[in-house]
């Protein structure tokens, strides 16, 4: 994992440096951390001709910025998306590399792990054993339990423990009548409060820690002996004898030390449950062991998360465009009744259609120069004025306005103006007055719709408040029982 994360991070940095050399410094208009990845984003935009969602981006930009260069706006938007995505990817790569290199192994002097004090929580650790030549024999999970306290016991619990104890000590052996490997002689049994002390009839064959030295026997020979278990819990004491038969089938030297270590770990962990320090086995199958503590790191999840964030940030750029388009359409809908009413008022005062557009555009221009807010409808009116100044006919200017707005209400309004210019309709003013009434009704319907949407958005905060209220009520009631 270190090689993978480090290599990807180095490759990412090299790509940024190469892009910086090919593209130079980013423009001054680019601010903040985006400047770091802007040359790389520009290089990717040039090398990838078909980016996902490119057609939708072009259409949204044409709606939001009809009077500006579409190619330049699209290029700036796509490069910005790629720059932010690369910035998020780089952050994820650096975090995953830092996590990978912060992990590793911590040497355990004399194979000692410090337990939690009595009453503390158990913790899961990974330990790795190395042989005399430094070769890794394996990595095993170990539950390091806290130092336990002594409890009172009764005769019934000791009877139950003595029924299962002969089977607990077998470890990897098939039965007590055929013991070929080390036994597991626990100092404590799970679920029982007894301290168990072991005594072997012949320590040269079976040590009190469960190590079996069947090499003392002849090949194919066997030997029966008795193990004595002394159960202690406070003032209660009891002894029990467990007979076992040792059989030598093969030399322990031929056994794999790695296969013996899990049993030795369980034996050491159970046998030293009361000790504040757990001493790991120093030998397995005749081979000396050195121990290291393996540190788990979230490098791989961070690496996968960085790739996911890269894709999400890239897609979020198009979502912002769609949100801006929807906001523009809503603003146009809200402004339509006032726009039609003002237009019909000017026409009723005897002004021509061209004069009405020029007057509304000039008033909006002066209002903007005085610090007024931007209005999408009036921006479209300014575009109509520019089109008329360039020599386009009034009818064509109205049709262009309808195509840019992409709104049924404005399309209907522009159609009325175009028909009047083409056929000389004398009842245009009356039709516009009817359109004003219909626009007011649409404005009321839109206001009702917005109110319903606002109430729907309040459901989630209300659900959170309900959950908080339930917690405030239930927690004291729970602790009162």
The whole-number pLDDT of residue 474 equals 87
Q: What is the pLDDT of residue 423?
A: 63
Residue 481 lies in a domain: no
**464 within a domain of the structure (yes/no):** no
Contact 310, 82 (CB under 8 A): no
Structure tokens at 135: 């070769």
Both 163 and 261 in one domain: the answer is yes
371 or 215, which is more confident: 371
pLDDT over 50 (residue 151)? no
Identify whether residues 27 and 130 lie together within a single domain. Answer: no
Q: 468 in a domain, yes or no?
A: no
Confidence of residue 15 (pLDDT cuts 50, 70, 90): confident
Same domain as 233, residue 119: yes
Confidence class of residue 138 from pLDDT cuts 50, 70 and 90?
A: confident
Residues 154, 260 within the same domain: yes
Residue that finishes a domain, picked among 275, 295, 315: 295
pLDDT confidence bin for 104, thresholds 50/70/90: low
Is residue 217 located within the same domain as residue 92? Answer: no
Phi and psi of 11, rounded to 5°?
A: -65, -40
- The Cα 350–Cα 382 span in angstroms is 21
Based on the domain organization, do 353 and 279 belong to the same domain? no
Q: What percent of the chain has pLDDT over 90?
A: 0
Q: How many domains does the chain have?
A: 3
Summarize pLDDT for 164-184 with one digit per residue, the tens: 888 888 887 878 888 888 888
Distances (CA, A) of 376 to 247, 339, 382: 94, 11, 10
- The pLDDT confidence band at residue 422, using thresholds 50, 70 and 90, is low
pLDDT at 120 over 70: no
> From CA 164, how far away is CA 167, in angstroms rounded?
6
For residue 117, the enclosing domain spans 109-295
Residues 141 and 162 in one domain: yes
Domain identity same for 92 and 113: no
pLDDT for residue 154:
60
Examine the pLDDT at 153 and tell me if it is beyond 50.
no
Query: Which residues 6+ apart lie within 8 Å of 151 measured at CB?
Result: 193, 233, 234
Query: Does 123 map to a domain?
Result: yes
The string of pLDDT tens digits covering residues 313-353 is 877 777 777 888 888 888 888 888 888 888 888 888 888 88
Same domain, 86 and 146: no
Q: Contacts by 372-376 with C-beta closer than 8 Å and gap 24+? A: 375/331, 375/335, 376/328, 376/331, 376/332, 376/335
Backbone angles phi, psi at 167, to 5 degrees: -85, -25
Residues 356 and 288 grouped into a single domain: no
pTM score, whole prediction: 0.43
pLDDT value of position 55: 62
């Amino acid at each position: 994992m270190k090689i993978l994360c480090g290599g990807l991070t180095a490759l990412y940095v090299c790509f940024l440096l190469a892009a910086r050399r090919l593209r130079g410094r980013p423009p001054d208009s680019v601010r903040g951390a985006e400047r770091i990845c802007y040359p790389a984003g520009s290089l990717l935009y040039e090398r990838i001709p078909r980016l996902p969602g490119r057609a939708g981006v072009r259409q949204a930009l044409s709606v939001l910025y009809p009077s500006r260069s579409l190619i330049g706006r699209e290029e700036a938007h796509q490069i910005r998306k790629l720059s932010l995505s690369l910035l998020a990817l780089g952050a994820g790569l650096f975090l995953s590399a830092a996590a990978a290199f912060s992990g590793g192994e911590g040497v355990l002097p004399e194979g000692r792990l410090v337990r939690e004090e009595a009453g503390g929580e158990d913790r899961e650790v990974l330990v790795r054993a190395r042989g005399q030549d430094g070769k890794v024999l394996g990595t095993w999970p170990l539950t390091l339990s806290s130092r336990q306290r002594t409890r009172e016991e009764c005769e019934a619990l000791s009877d139950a423990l003595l029924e299962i104890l002969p089977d607990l000590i077998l470890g990897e052996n098939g039965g007590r009548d055929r013991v070929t490997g080390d036994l597991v002689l626990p100092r404590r049994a799970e679920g029982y409060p007894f301290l168990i002390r072991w005594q072997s009839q012949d320590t040269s064959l079976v040590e009190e820690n469960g190590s079996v030295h069947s090499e003392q026997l002849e090949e194919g020979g066997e030997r029966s002996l008795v193990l004595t278990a002394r159960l202690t819990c406070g003032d209660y004491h009891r002894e029990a004898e467990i007979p076992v038969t040792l059989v030598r089938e093969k030399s322990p030297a031929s056994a794999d030390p790695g296969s013996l270590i899990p049993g030795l770990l369980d034996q050491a962990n159970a046998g030293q449950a009361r000790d504040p320090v757990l001493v790991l086995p120093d030998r397995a199958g005749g081979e000396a062991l050195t121990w290291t503590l393996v540190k788990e790191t979230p490098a791989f999840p961070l690496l996968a998360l960085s790739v996911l964030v890269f894709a999400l940030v890239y897609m979020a750029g198009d979502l912002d465009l769609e949100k801006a388009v929807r906001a523009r359409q809503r603003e146009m809908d809200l402004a339509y009744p006032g726009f039609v009413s003002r237009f019909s008022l000017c026409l009723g005062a005897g002004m021509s259609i061209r004069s009405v557009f020029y007057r509304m555009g000039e008033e909006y221009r002066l209002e903007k120069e005085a610090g007024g807010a931007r209005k999408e409808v009036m921006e479209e009116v300014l575009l109509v004025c520019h089109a008329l100044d360039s020599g386009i006919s009034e009818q064509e200017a109205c049709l262009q306005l309808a195509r840019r707005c992409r709104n049924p209400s404005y399309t209907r309004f522009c159609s009325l103006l175009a028909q009047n210019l083409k056929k000389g309709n004398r009842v245009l003013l009356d039709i516009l007055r009817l359109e004003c009434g219909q626009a007011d009704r649409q404005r009321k319907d839109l206001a009702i719709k917005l109110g319903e949407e606002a109430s729907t958005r309040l459901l989630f905060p209300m659900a959170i408040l309900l959950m908080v209220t339930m917690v405030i009520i239930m927690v004291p009631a729970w602790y009162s029982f």
